Structure 1
Amino acid sequence: MAQPSITAAPFGELPNGQTAQLFTLTSSTGLEVRITNYGGIVTHFFAPDRQGQPGDIVLGFGSLDGYLSDAYATANPYFGGLIGRFGNRIKEGRFTLDGQPYTLATNNGLNHLHGGMHGFNQQLWEAEMLVDLGPVLRLTYISPDGEEGYPGNLTVTVLYGLTADNSLRIDYTATTDRATPINLTNHSYFNLGADATPDILGHELTLHADRYTVVDDTLIPTGELRPVAGTPFDFTQAHTIGERIGQVPGGYDHNWVLRGEGFRTVAEVHEPTSGRTLEVRTDQPGIQFYAGNFLAGTLTGKQGRPYPKHGGFCLETQHFPDSPNQPTFPNTVLQPGEVFKSVTEYRCGVR
């Protein structure tokens, strides 16, 4: 059994001359995850299949240049990145807080998406390797007051760690000096078949959710929480992703309302060819299931693989989209003196 470890190496130079690092975390159970402090991006995630052969189950690039290219900026898929200050969409980039109107960058049609033009996934985070905690990477970023239009100086700390039960664990913590909306997540695209499956339509998905947030044609919630029963959104029993995706205009890119509260299992995925499984556990109220509808083969990733439509899926643990404008949704406003905390785990297995 391997010894847990964490190492660092240069990953590339940013346009401003700063150097990004790539950190490799290895667990005693055979997982290896590589993360760069540029955007907190998970670049590689090696997990064994049912034969014990490791395969890379996330989409991304082998060098920093891939994340800085014009093609990537045009496609803007947010591969593997830490998302903030507010993940998902805010209608027309506007909200009112304590009677004060705020205007954010609009970078998704008329709407604000994933923190704006230069969200947390494009920032260079301060990094520290915590060897004593067993492979853990601590990333810290201070988002200044007014960044992308948000109020308050927000200090965010993210711990990436590998656990003894085969999980990638992500702990989020944040504090602020002014009231501000916050919704942090990770935007990894998974393909549990690794090199064996070009798309994820054959993956079997279960979501522990009885309702989803209905959206308009710009993917902004209407406020309705609709039961999934009898619809293509019903994953309370396992279905392949491709089985009913054609019945959903544009494909799956929606927030599901998760059952229960506290830290619990909210989703499972099984890829029959490799036998790999992925279990998602979180304390968040929602999860965005996105089926890679906007991938178009324009990006070539690791090992020269183009990433086609439905080349990967995302399960982004989160609060609901547009929550600052939806008074019936769970609160996303962080107040001074409060500490935002959240945890999500992606647990690997086989069957």
Structure 2
Amino acid sequence: MAAPTEVTEPTPKIPGDPVIAVRALWKVFGVRPERVPESPELSALSRRELMDATGCVAAVSGIDFEVAAGEVFVVMGLSGSGKSTLVRCLTRLIEPTAGEVVFEGEDILAADRRRLRSLRRDKFSMVFQHFGLLPHRRVIDNVAYGLEIRGMGRAERHRRALEVIELVGLDGNERSYPDQLSGGMQQRVGLARALAGDPDVLFFDEPFSALDPLIRRDMQSEVIRLHREVGKTMVFITHDLSEALKLGDRILIMRDGKAVQCGTGEELVRSPADEYVSDFVRDVPRADVLTLRSIMRPSRPDDVLDGPELAPEVVVREAVRAVLAADRPVKVVRDGELLGVVSHEEILSAVAGE
């Protein structure tokens, strides 16, 4: 019988203090916006009710979440859900109405202009849907632009720019102008520019939504590869569930400025918080999202437990061949501890979506 296919285990997250902690964050547009979060009656209204009662629009309504070091945290929702306003509040490109945004222990909302410029220059970078490249500058100088603003010498900033140009797969194009590159290559320049300053956090605001589907898929894979190589904390905004599931360690779903549910892709698919989330995930192939932890069963006395072992985080789709090739249950093991087993019955039920 053929040996089971080896499955690569995902790297577990290391617990610790969050890099970003968002608490009771509001962004209200309109006259006297501060009255909305201050009033229990007004803050309890729906977006439409609030608009009718006050003329104000709550783009972000009392959002709470944390982002761990090295995590890819995805915020998703349909147009008008408030996701892009939210990410701009995190960097104060838009001033929040109320709440806290704590970055590495520091409340960003208390930072003065000088400190805020320093944070934007040294601590976090943004990648937008519109590339924002300087058309009169070659790729190497676009990538090095932020370093130039910092006052870094030409030789040093070009050395750093060439490093990240190679990292994002653009080596050989450093002397090209933006209009000589495809859309996907231009977005790689934007990504390289964000990475050049070695920020602690990268913010992505729907960076691939204007790209063709095939190029978009390539760029998603590129982000995954870069995350594995450089380990940056990332906050990624998207309206595309498949993109969210592909990229995100955890996903926050927003609707009308509010947080509907936050969890791993598996948690959203397995236990949607309400009908809205259920509609979002209805067509997601469960085997692409569920892990062995969610489908395993306790071992039985008649189980022969000398077969292959897999980690509980392995996705069902990746484990199918290994489980079906085994003539006995596959053990689900973490740090030498037997958590459960998966046999043909469990794996086939998961693939069939039962």
Bin of the TM-score, shorter chain as denominator length: under 0.3
Bigger share in helix: 2
Bigger share in strand: 1
- Structure 1 or 2, whichever has the larger Rg, is 2
What TM-score, normalized to structure 2? Answer: 0.18
